[in-house]
Amino acid sequence: MLLSKEQKHTIAEQQHTRTEQQVLDAMVLSKDQQHTIAEQQHTLSEQQHATKRSTEQQVMLDAELQLWNHTFGYVKSMALKAALDLGIPDAIHQHGGSATLPQIVTRVTLHPSKTSCLRRLMRVLTLTGVFGVQHHDGGNGDELVYRLTPASRLLVGGSSGQQNLSPFLTLMLGPLFVSSFLDLRGWFQHETPDPSPFKMTHGRDIWELAAHDAAGFGRLFNAGMVADSDFIMDVVVRECGAVFRGIRGSLVDVAGGLGGAGQTIARAFPHLECTVMDLPNVVAGAPADTTVKYVAGDMFESVPSADAVFLKWIMHDWGDADCVKILKNCKKAIPAEGGKVIILDIVVGAGSSSSDRNVETQCLFDLFIMFINGAERDEREWKKIIFEAGFRSYNIIPVLGIRSIIEVYP
């Protein structure tokens, strides 16, 4: 059937109207549907707010964790001290390098009621990497076997040729040193440089106390310094041999104590004539059965003539003005051609390890050495005192863990 134009137009309009109505009908939701959508939107909003609150709370909890970890960090140090005092590294070593808790108990002095407490101590020391631990089925159920790590092997004493840092760490963790940090607020309110935190606490500086109590603190101090010197000098002669092989004929170890470093150098480089200079009361206790010569003196007044001067772990004890004075006296003691000063100390930011722990430990030691008004230095600070003392150049060799060798040339 043929439709007129008017009829076709009318039909088209009706179809368009029906289509629009269908769209409108589809857009109109029931009250239940509208309520459901509103609830969903509300739930989503609450979830978003809850997530935000949860994130904010977690930030606060993480901040609390950081402060707690910092606050109770000293417990790690005291746990290590307890392990040294009890002789736990030696006990494990005596069982072949690994031992269960009952085996450790047979080798240490411990009240039987404290066995469970020892387990808690070992848990901290394994978490911090001082000891290793593994589970072992010993027939009586699962038990823990503790083993020595590279760190705790350095705490084992009594073995010939075995490096033992226990005397050094015992000194560092002892009450005389630790108590020096209990009133830093009071120290910060005094004018620099005196008194040091150590002197404020004990009435004498560290060297005065060592001389006054030679049998007690003096002996402990010397044992700690010798242990550290033996350890680091063994690495020095292996890793930095070229530093000493190039010296013409003589070396003086300034403030070298009982000569541990000087004796190590003399054995490793027999072509060198080694001399140790220290204060008269120190030299008085020097060993006689050695090729090393001992000279009493004061580095602030003069240094014996030699082709090279060695300053091991000395400069960090003093402020810049005193360091410049020491270096000037060293410069007078060495030849202008071919002479040099060899400094073993920390260069903050340099080291043989790239880990964050390296710089952190350097900065911790910088704060620690403040207890005698000392300071560790970065390269810029070393350069300042070296050039101020009249030297023309220097070379840093960062191969000794947190410490470095600095060659200084006139």
Residue 193, preceding bond cis, omega within 30 degrees?
yes
Instruction: List all residues 6 or more positions away from 391 whose beta carbon is below 8 Å from its beta carbon.
Output: 327, 331, 341, 408, 409, 410
Distance between CA atoms of residues 378 and 261, nearest Å: 24
- 91 and 107 Cβ atoms separated by less than 8 Å: yes
- Minimal CA–CA distance to 76: which of 135, 1, 151, 164? 151
- Both structure tokens of 134: 């593994």
Distance between CA atoms of residues 233 and 342, nearest Å: 13
Distance between CA atoms of residues 371 and 317, nearest Å: 10
Instruction: List all residues 6 or more positions away from 328 whose beta carbon is below 8 Å from its beta carbon.
Output: 389, 390
Q: Print burial letters for 143-160: b (CB count within 10 Å at least 16), e (below 16).
A: ebbbbbbebbbbbbbeee
Q: Render 204-243 in DSSP notation, one character per residue.
A: S-HHHHHHHTIIIIIHHHHHHHHHHHHHHHHHHHHH-HHH
| Residues labelled as active-site residues | 316
Cα torsion for 317, 319, 322, 324, to the nearest 10°?
110
Question: Could you give the maximum distance between any two Cα atoms of the chain, in Å?
Answer: 135
Name the DSSP class of 343: E
